[in-house]
Amino acid sequence: MTLRATLQARLAERRERGLYRQLKTLEAAPSPTAVVDGRSMVAFSSNDYLGLACHPQVIAAQQEGARLGAGATASHLVNGHLQIHEALQEEIAAATGREAALVFSSGYAANMGTICALIGRGDSIVSDKLNHASLIDGARLSRAESLRFAHSDTAALARQLQRARNTGGNTLVAVDGVYSMDGDCAPLAEIAGLCREHDAWLMVDEAHGFGLMGSEKLPVAGSAAAMGLTGEDAPILMGTLGKAAGNAGAFVAGSRELIDYLVQFARTYIYTTGMPPAVASGALAALQVMQREPERQQRLRNNIDRFRRGAAERGLPLGDSTSPIQPLLLGCDQTVMRVAAELATQGFLVGAIRPPTVPVGTARLRITLSAAHDPAQITALLAALDSALEDAGALSTGSSEVRP
Ligand code: PMP
């Protein structure tokens, strides 16, 4: 069969299964609004949790950074590493309480490159079943023995750690700190304890924790710091700059040796063009603003509480999440699409998440809150959900195959 015919057949199959993804083109997206087809909508679907993507100081810093050149012009090791990258790395290291940090052009690249640099054939990687795709792909590509455990089930993790020990080699445990589609936090204190007991290295993906939570001393460091973990407990910390920092790119933070080692061996760092200086400059400003304006975290927490209270009063199928990611588990793919479409007609953008992004039977609306939302917008979304869910028969059909 020709390439074109093969692709047409595969795309047709995806459409028949109701899993075809439609790209939405936005004309503008100044959070929390998004302009689609000339119409201004309220977005509850972005990861701009602190509203920094449009912060005037961040934008000014990004413009200033562009004076250094539109692009980095080469990979970091060749010719593409500037002082602005160093400054950003130092700020990240300080904000996460680690000795050093390294920026990558995306979180996907950071996870893949770090895992593959640290482990290989003869080693083991133990992953939560709901880990982000980039951790899963890193595990696959590493060629280490890949062991998985049921979501946040520490007894199952302990069993896999025992198996890994019997295999020999080094063991890496990789988990999301905050799960991207469920919004719940990993039980990091127990996980770190098990890693210590079994001599395993813990890698925490803070894509949805960095900037939003932390300890008293490190208020933006992420979920590991919030749960009292130190650099000894969680020696490999990954975070993204495209979510709470409202920008793009990612980092790994840890010991000086870890960072030196990744510069030598992380292929997704070495063989790719450096982060554009404008991005580094804007991300640096975003990190400074998020630390200088802790009220953004507080506003976000208030918005999350407001949404959860309203949803609970209505008996909506909320998940076990206190993070800005609030899934409404509806179960059925078509129902989720219908409800999202109805919400769009009422002026709200929400994520409609279906397999294979989430397990079969657990399709959901992924509603994300931001410090940029006005309380009135949350009240309006809740009212819109009432009618959208009712019109779609989403609750009465008892979409019962919902994962607990
Ligand atoms: N890890 C997690 C948990 C994520 O949610 C994401 C982004 N969806 C990534 C990694 C990848 O980050 P990036 O978008 O910067 O590639």
- Per-residue pLDDT for 401 more than 50? no
Give pLDDT, residue 392. 84
Average per-residue pLDDT for the chain: 95
329: how many CB neighbours lie within 10 A of its CB?
22
Active site residue 243: yes
Q: Which residues pair with 236 in a beta bridge?
A: 203
Looking at the structure, do residues 131 and 112 belong to the same domain, yes or no?
A: yes
Is 14 a member of any domain?
A: no
| Closest protein CA for atom 12 of ligand 1 | 107
Domain hosting 160: range is 56-292
> Could you tell me the pTM of the whole model?
0.95
Looking at the structure, do residues 38 and 102 belong to the same domain, yes or no?
A: no
Give pLDDT, residue 396. 55
Structure-token pair, residue 235: 């020696």
Is 8 a member of any domain?
A: no
Q: Which atom of ligand 1 is nearest to the CA of 108?
A: 16
With a Cβ cut-off of 6 Å, ligand 1 is lined by 106-108, 111, 132, 134, 176, 180, 205, 207-208, 240, 242, 250
- Per-residue pLDDT for 168 more than 90? no
| Closest protein CA for atom 10 of ligand 1 | 107
Looking at the structure, do residues 67 and 42 belong to the same domain, yes or no?
A: no
233 in Cβ contact with 274 (< 8 Å): no
Average pLDDT of the segment spanning 26-50: 93
Looking at the structure, do residues 179 and 154 belong to the same domain, yes or no?
A: yes
The domain boundary, picked from 268, 292, 316, lies at 292
Looking at the structure, do residues 228 and 348 belong to the same domain, yes or no?
A: no
Q: Residue 226 and residue 21: Cα distance in Å, rounded?
A: 36
- Per-residue pLDDT for 398 more than 70? no
Number of domains in the chain: 2
Q: Residue 139 and residue 217: Cα distance in Å, rounded?
A: 33
Q: Which atom of ligand 1 is nearest to the CA of 176?
A: 3
From 108, 238, 325, 357, the mutation candidate for ligand 1 (largest count of ligand atoms within 8 A of CB) is: 108
The domain boundary, picked from 271, 292, 313, lies at 292
Average pLDDT of the segment spanning 168-180: 97
Is 31 a member of any domain?
A: yes
Active site residue 45: no
Q: Greater confidence, 29 or 97? A: 97
Specify the CATH number for the domain of residue 258. 3.40.640.10
Return the residue matching tokens 């520490």: 154
DSSP-derived secondary structure letter, 252 = E
Distance in Å, CA 207 to ligand 1 centroid: 6
Tell me, what amino acid is at 30? P
| Closest protein CA for atom 11 of ligand 1 | 107
pLDDT digits (tens, 9 = 90+) for 76-129: 999 999 999 999 999 999 999 999 999 999 999 999 999 999 999 999 999 999
Looking at the structure, do residues 180 and 257 belong to the same domain, yes or no?
A: yes
- Per-residue pLDDT for 402 more than 50? no
**What per-residue string of b and e applies to 294-319 under the rule 16 or more CB within 10 Å gives b?**
eebbebbbebbebbbebbeeeebbbb
Looking at the structure, do residues 141 and 269 belong to the same domain, yes or no?
A: yes
String of DSSP letters for 312-357: HHTT--B-S--SSEEEEEEE-HHHHHHHHHHHHHTTEEEEEE-TTT
92 in Cβ contact with 237 (< 8 Å): no
Active site residue 129: no
Binding residues: 21, 107-108, 132, 180, 208, 240, 357
Is 4 a member of any domain?
A: no
Tell me, what amino acid is at 384? A
Looking at the structure, do residues 307 and 212 belong to the same domain, yes or no?
A: no
Looking at the structure, do residues 330 and 373 belong to the same domain, yes or no?
A: yes
Looking at the structure, do residues 306 and 332 belong to the same domain, yes or no?
A: yes
The domain boundary, picked from 250, 275, 292, lies at 292
